[in-house]
Each structure stands twice: as structure tokens, then as C-alpha cells.
Structure 1
Amino acid sequence: MDIIAAQLEDIDQVMLIIEQAKQIMRANGNQTQWINGYPSREIIAADIRNQDAFVCLVNTEIVGYFCLIIGSDPEPNYKVIEEGAWLNNSPYGVIHRLASSGTVKGIARKAFDFAFSQINTVRVDTNHDNIPMQKFLRNSGFTYCGIIYVSDGSPRDAFQKIIAD
């Protein structure tokens, strides 16, 4: 599996992957994440324009998508965390909108491996009902840090992992 920067011409395929990921979430009991048109075509296009969008390829087929933002404080919703604390205040990467077509295993692992090849601290949040993602994060060495709130005011479980330099 290869990871490459997404291009605007990939957007139709990325939106299909997102719809497939929503179906997987619903089948696993997660009825409240990625609702009301989120993530929209406009959000994905902005990810691509900002050069934060990546696709996972098997041969030439797009089988996964994620947004990776890196910076000193790339996620404004992470400024306030309740019922816990972040592990550190170092610059970090954040993965958003991780989506798999469901046709290939290992999309999340590859996305996070890619993130850690770019920066040694990654933060991520997920819906409390997204049990498969929470299990993946815990099994991958992420630490539960508390609760953050996304822009619509809904809570998310927040995780962080730091790897040695």
C-alpha cells in the first residue's frame, strides 16, 4: 500500500470512500459520527488545497483517505480538554477524516505510520461510539487523554501518542 498526496481529481473517489466508511461505522453501531453531510466535498477539497490530504493506494486503486495536519497547534478544538490532559505541549500532527473503503485491511495502521514518519507526536479524537477506532488506538499505544469538543459542540474522546526521536 502506498500513500500519496490527494489531488482534486481524486475527490469523487475520496467521497465514495467516505460513504463506504460511513456504512462501516453504522454497521458497527456508530450512528452519530459523520452525520449531516460531514465531511463534505468542500471540506475534502480544502484538505487537498491545504496539502493536508492523502490517499492510500493499492496498485492504482484508492482504498483509503485521511487528512494529516502538522504544526505547533494545528487543531483549535484541542485547546480545551476536559476530564484529563494532553501528554505534552510539543508540536503535533493530527489525523482527521480517516476513511477506508473496507476492501483492504490496514488503512489506519498505514495512515498513522505515515504520520509518525513526519512527526513524533500525534493527537486524534473520535466519537465515543466509534469502538473499532478506540480499540485500534489503544492497541497501537495511544493514551486516552480526555474529552474535547468539535466545532458543532459535540464531545469526542481524545488520544495522544508520542514516539522517541
Structure 2
Amino acid sequence: MDSGKLSCGNEVSIHRSTAADIDVLMGVYADARRYMRLTGNATQWTGGYPSRAIVERDVAAGNSYVGIGADGEVLMVFSFFVGREPNYDRIEDGSWPDDGAYGTIHRLASTGRMGGMLRRCVDFCFTLADNIRLDTHADNGPMLAAVGRLGFVRCGIIYVDDGTPRVAFAKRRPAVPYSAGRM
């Protein structure tokens, strides 16, 4: 699986963020926080979350990705890594579908300039992992609707570092249908 650059249709390419992107990423996150407040999500991403230090850490670790439009404008940012997410070790009101390896999407934010960013993010992440997990706040109506449309399964409630609950979801990469007679 390639973790480089991927074109995801409608003139969007996704690649790892660099230190040069950080100021733009912080602006996208600030806009996303404002959008959350406007859509009734007053308690997620408070206190300036994600902080510049978190974004810098994501970039340095190679876990920060950016979606770029044909015009070169940043359309979305997200963090993705394959491996254990400690906050997912304890899940209430449900369970994970399996104990296999997984990748985790965190901190997805879009400029709102183009729709379908979660789908593009998920399509890209499926090039890196067969099983994806993510979580969001119960008040994040737009994200809850989007993960449902994409076929994510609600698995239960997890708690993030500050102790607040999040609704947890998982999805396995769809199998490629077998076509008899083809090799």
C-alpha cells in the first residue's frame, strides 16, 4: 500500500502535510470549530483544539494529511495512523467488531468548499489499512450523518483524553467482487 499521493476524483489529491502547511491547517481547524458551533456542536474541539502543538506533532509523525484542490487550495486536513489508539482500548455500550489491526482517522476538518471530503478521506485511508475506526461527538450531526451514509457501524462509546465521551465507529474495506473467468 502506498502512503504517498493519491488523486481522489473531482480534482482532489491527498498527501502528507508538511511543516510549511501548518499555518493553513490551523486556519482550516479554526473554520471547522466555527462551523461546529453554527451547527449546534458547542462542546467539541473547545479551548482551541486541536492546538498547534498537536498539529505539529501529527505532521512530524507523518500522520497529518491534506486534501488539495486542482487550484492548489487546501480543502481538508486529517490525521491518520495505523496501530493501537489507546482511547479505543475501553469501549462502553457496545464493542469493536474485531480485534484485528486498524487505522484511526482523527481531526478531520474541511473548508466546506467542496462536499464529499469524508468519503475522499476514507477512500484514501483504505489504501493504507483494511479496517478503519473513528469517533466523533454526539452533537456533531453533520459527521454522524456522513459516517452513516458511508456505511460505518456504530460500535459504542469511547472516552478521549479529557474524559469526554465520543461515539465510536468502524468500517472494514469492502471486498472486491470476484469475477469468474478473470485472471
User: Residue 25 in 1 paired to residue 36 in 2?
Assistant: yes
How far apart, CA to CA, are the structure 1 residues paired with 2:59 and 2:161? Answer: 20
Q: What SS class does the counterpart of residue 118 from structure 1 fall into?
A: coil
2:47 to 36, 57, 79: 36
How far apart, CA to CA, are the structure 2 residues paired with 1:96 and 1:32? Answer: 17
Q: List gaps (5 residues or longer) in structure 2.
A: 1-11, 176-183
How far apart, CA to CA, are the structure 1 residues paired with 2:166 and 2:142? Answer: 14
In structure 1, the partner of 2:24 is: 13
1:103 to 109, 113, 116: 113
In structure 1, the partner of 2:88 is: 78
What amino acid is aligned across from residue 164 of structure 2 in structure 1?
A: S
User: Residue 145 in 1 paired to residue 155 in 2?
Assistant: yes
RCO greater where, 1 or 2, for CA within 8 Å and sep 6 or more? Answer: 1
Deviation per residue, 1:86-130 (Å, 9 max, x gap): 011110010000000111212111111101111110000000000
Alignment of 1:131-142 (within 5 A): 131-142=141-152
TM-score (norm 1): 0.96
In structure 2, the partner of 1:53 is: 64
How far apart, CA to CA, are the structure 1 residues paired with 2:172 and 2:88? Answer: 16
How far apart, CA to CA, are the structure 1 residues paired with 2:74 and 2:52? Answer: 16
How far apart, CA to CA, are the structure 2 residues paired with 1:102 and 1:50? Answer: 26
Deviation per residue, 1:115-152 (Å, 9 max, x gap): 11111100000000001101111111100000000010
Sequence identity, in percent? 42
1:119 to 122, 125, 129: 129
Higher Cα Rg, which structure: 2
Q: List gaps (5 residues or longer) in structure 1.
A: none
Deviation per residue, 1:72-93 (Å, 9 max, x gap): x2x1000000010001111001
What amino acid is aligned across from residue 81 of structure 2 in structure 1?
A: I
**Which is richer in helix?**
1
User: Residue 4 in 1 paired to residue 18 in 2?
Assistant: no
1:128 to 130, 133, 138: 138
Deviation per residue, 1:60-83 (Å, 9 max, x gap): 111110000112x2x100000001
How far apart, CA to CA, are the structure 2 residues paired with 1:106 and 1:14? Answer: 18
How far apart, CA to CA, are the structure 1 residues paired with 2:127 and 2:20? Answer: 26
**Divergent runs of 4+, >2 A:** none
Contact 1:33–1:127, Cα closer than 8 Å, also in 2: yes
TM-score (norm 2): 0.87
In structure 1, the partner of 2:74 is: 62
* Pairwise CA distance, 1:55: 0.4
Q: What SS class does the counterpart of residue 157 from structure 1 fall into?
A: strand
Q: What SS class does the counterpart of residue 55 from structure 1 fall into?
A: strand
